Amino acid sequence: MLGTFLVEPQSRDISKILQRTGSGIQAMWTGAALPQILRCGCLSSSRHHIKGYMENPILTSAQDFPAGSDTFFYTDFMQPFEMVTDSSAAVEKIQERANLVSQSVLPRAIVHTSTQKEIFGRVESSPSRLSVYTCALNGHVRAQRALSLFKLSMSTSEGLLICITYRRPETPTPLHVWLKLEGLCVQVPIAEQQRTITTELQPNETNTLTGISLQVEGYFETISTSPLLVAEIMSICVRRSSKAARNYTISDATLVQIDETGSVLSWKFNNEAWNASPEDDGLPYSDLTGPFSFFMIEIDGRQVGRAYAMEYVLRGIGDELDVRITGIGFDGEVICVYTGSLRKRQRQGSAESWQLV
């Protein structure tokens, strides 16, 4: 899961935000220089020493492998760090938040030189998405531009299904935008407005899906100095066409107090009717959470976070709660939902008997 696209920020404010959040990653992976405004954590008055990063970036020795597996690929473009607006304070502030456990597969880092700025992408937050921009040309010229997104290696011998959620803004000039499925000679059009499209790729023993790129074609005019937003991709999922029926339920939800301010919400999942093996449809299967990638936790109608295990620690809550637990599969689909009212129970045994991991 490599870093984000390297882009030229469009304003000073955005530039500072991107420099604070992205330049450290860029230096580590590509050898890009850290900004002047970033100071050393141990010597706050000094600029951080960057010679080691620039001379030995990870990408000079990292091995390149296809993303996903030979039967499954999914991304919702969730970054390891994101900037969020804190509205709780008297004055709204933009703060950095870590999402390391939630990070999705991201496009390979692309360095834009003076001759490589016709089309570029930026991974953004709130909501997580890939924004794709193109720059206007001088004059009235018809051109086709391509942006490589992911390298894959998926056989179509058993059939594949690709599902894409996107948003397509209006543009001053008509543009044709599509995703190209490399190795299959298949184009998936990105039409106007916002929608989710699903395309079935017929079984073919000789063809392999080797990658995904975004293509833009049309007449480009010099409209403004700002790049033109042509598409926002929210998620991409590629999986086998045949999907085993999985009828799961979430049950046995409990709320147990563990200290003066903390309580643990825990639950189990049940498989009501499923006789096939977990690997039959090519989707991942966890020894800990089964077919669930994570669980969305809502308390009293408010979303409080994600759980990547069968429990979630809550702080500063009342004795009785309305709870909603939504189980999300590895392909981004909702598998099942639990709702109920829970009353807090006191823990059994001593404090030493509890160990949260």
Contact 98, 80 (CB under 8 A): yes
φ, ψ of residue 180 in degrees (nearest 5): -100, 125
DSSP-assigned letters across all residues of 221-234: ----SSPEEEEEEE
| Banded model confidence at residue 11, pLDDT cuts 50, 70, 90 | very low
Helix residue ranges per DSSP H, the chain: 12-30, 51-55
CA distances from 53 to 39, 46, 56, 61, 280 (A): 15, 17, 5, 13, 44
For range 155-172, the mean pLDDT: 89
Asked if residue 127 has a cis previous peptide bond (ω within 30° of 0), the answer is yes
Q: Tokens representing 130?
A: 């890939």
- Give residue 79's pLDDT: 82
For range 242-267, the mean pLDDT: 87
| Banded model confidence at residue 29, pLDDT cuts 50, 70, 90 | confident
Note the pLDDT tens digit of each residue in 35-71: 666 666 665 555 566 666 677 777 778 777 889 898 9
For residue 147, the cross-strand partners are 214
Q: What's the mean pLDDT when you consider all of the chain?
A: 78
For range 188-200, the mean pLDDT: 87
Identify the residue with better confidence: 82 or 299.
299
- Half-sphere exposure (CA, 13 Å, Cβ side) for 188? 24
Note the pLDDT tens digit of each residue in 77-86: 988 776 666 6
- Give residue 353's pLDDT: 46
- Give residue 301's pLDDT: 93
pLDDT at 234 over 50: yes
Q: For each of the domains in the chain, give its residue range(s) and CATH number, in order of start.
A: 64-240 (2.60.120.260), 247-353 (2.60.40.10)
Cα 154 to Cα 165: distance, rounded to the nearest angstrom: 20
Identify the residue with better confidence: 115 or 197.
197
pLDDT at 10 over 80: no
CA distances from 171 to 1, 134, 136, 197, 231 (A): 32, 11, 12, 21, 10
- Give residue 125's pLDDT: 82
Cα 55 to Cα 60: distance, rounded to the nearest angstrom: 9
- Give residue 332's pLDDT: 92
For range 311-334, the mean pLDDT: 93
- Give residue 91's pLDDT: 64
| Banded model confidence at residue 5, pLDDT cuts 50, 70, 90 | very low
- Half-sphere exposure (CA, 13 Å, Cβ side) for 351? 5
Question: Which residues, 6 or more positions from 111, have their beta carbon under 8 angstroms from its beta carbon?
Answer: 6, 30, 32
Q: Tokens representing 290?
A: 């089964």
4-8, 19-23, 324-328: least confident range = 4-8
Amino acid of residue 154 = M
Instruction: Tell me which range, 202-206, 220-224, 322-326, is most confidently predicted by mean pLDDT.
Output: 322-326
- Global pTM reads 0.76
Long-range contacts of 62-69 (CB under 8 A, 24+ apart): 64/151, 66/151, 66/152, 66/153, 66/210, 67/105, 67/150, 67/151, 67/152, 68/105, 68/150, 68/152, 68/154, 68/238, 69/154, 69/282, 69/284
Note the pLDDT tens digit of each residue in 86-123: 666 566 666 666 777 788 888 865 544 334 467 888 88
Cα 144 to Cα 218: distance, rounded to the nearest angstrom: 7
pLDDT at 264 over 90: yes
Contact 192, 170 (CB under 8 A): yes
CA-nearest of 328, 339, 237 to 289 is: 328
